[in-house]
Amino acid sequence: MDLPWTRAKLGLWLTASVLIGMTGSAHAMRCDDGLTADGDSPEQVLSKCGTPASRVIELPQKRGGHVIEGAVTVERWVYGPRSGARYHLRFVAGKLVDEAVEIVP
């Protein structure tokens, strides 16, 4: 068995595991007036970052003219490209719950 190669593969797997574990909503988008944070309202993000390049609002589902219990408004915003990236933000029930960064050429 080639021990150095085995160590290299183990190191690669450990590094990949750590990087995967770091993904998620731990991103904070830097704006002119501060950083975004989980739990920010749309109004807070607008005041920090300005108007997004695109904004999609998904209203709660209705049945029989009434909002289904537990259904909430979901907003998806995109900022950028800025500094070589697009920033995708998702709000659920008026709170920022997810931020993703897309690197663009």
Q: d(Cα 73, Cα 39) in Å, to the nearest integer?
A: 15
Output the pLDDT for position 28: 87
**What's the confidence (pLDDT) of residue 14?**
46
Q: Which amino acid is at 82?
A: R
The domain defined by 27-103 carries CATH number 1.20.1260: no
Predicted TM-score (pTM) of this structure: 0.71
Delimit the domains of the chain by residue range: 27-103
Helix (H) or strand (E) holding 37: none
Q: Summarize the confidence of residues 7-27 as an average pLDDT.
A: 50
How far is the C-alpha of 98 from the C-alpha of 24, rounded, in Å?
A: 7
- Mean per-residue pLDDT, 31-49: 96
pLDDT at 18 over 90: no
Q: What torsion do the CA atoms of 35, 36, 37, 38 make, to the nearest 10 degrees? A: -170
Give the C-alpha distances (Å, rounded to integers) separating 57 from 36, 42, 54, 63. 19, 12, 10, 19
Over residues 75-86, the pLDDT tens digits come to 999 999 988 999
What does each C-alpha distance from 71 to 45, 67, 97 come to in angstroms? 23, 7, 16
The per-residue pLDDT for 17 is 43
Average pLDDT over residues 22-30: 64
Q: Is the pLDDT of residue 30 over 80?
A: yes
Which ranges constitute the DSSP H helices of the chain?
3-22, 42-49
